[in-house]
Amino acid sequence: FGSRCSNLQSSHPHTVHTSAPFVKLRAMPSAEKLAKKQKYFDKLVDLCVNTPNALIICADFVASKQMQDIRMELRGKAQVLMGKNTMIRKALEMGHAIHPDAGMDVLRSNIRGNIGFIFATNCQLDDIRETLGKHVRSPQRNDAST
């Protein structure tokens, strides 16, 4: 087998033959990125444990301007928290290990799709629902005849 490889290498000067498949090496995340993730994890767990009222929202087809307007209107009343599902799941898993009675395992099993949380810090859930209702747009129609 060794002589066969040497023959292949000598057949073309610019070709390198290896027996191992191509593997992309991933660099470890920087300390700054790890600190940022840990801050997010701590924030989510703290809000889940210390804020009893929250809504899980679906953010499909929501424009960034809509999210900005909702955040601005809820400022001081509630906290909007979005994130990647893998980070949310990991934070809830870590939080469940620390606070097993908080129900984060049930919450973790329902993390699917483009979701976020709105934690009611200084208002009622009905106030948040009313604010969200103001910013919901009707679906656009693509009918050329109308």
* Euclidean distance between CA atoms 50 and 119, whole angstroms: 10
DSSP structure class, residue 60? T
Query: Which amino acid is present at 109?
Result: S
In order along its 146 residues, the chain shows pLDDT tens digits of 444 444 444 444 555 555 556 666 677 778 899 999 999 999 999 999 999 899 999 988 889 999 999 999 999 999 999 999 899 999 999 999 999 988 888 888 888 888 999 999 999 999 999 999 998 776 665 555 44
Is the distance from CB of 133 to CB of 61 less than 8 angstroms?
no
Query: Which amino acid is present at 102?
Result: A
What are the tokens at 60?
């499909």
* Euclidean distance between CA atoms 96 and 45, whole angstroms: 9
What are the tokens at 41?
């994890």
**pTM of the model as a whole:** 0.71
Query: Which amino acid is present at 57?
Result: I
Locus of tokens 């909702």: 70
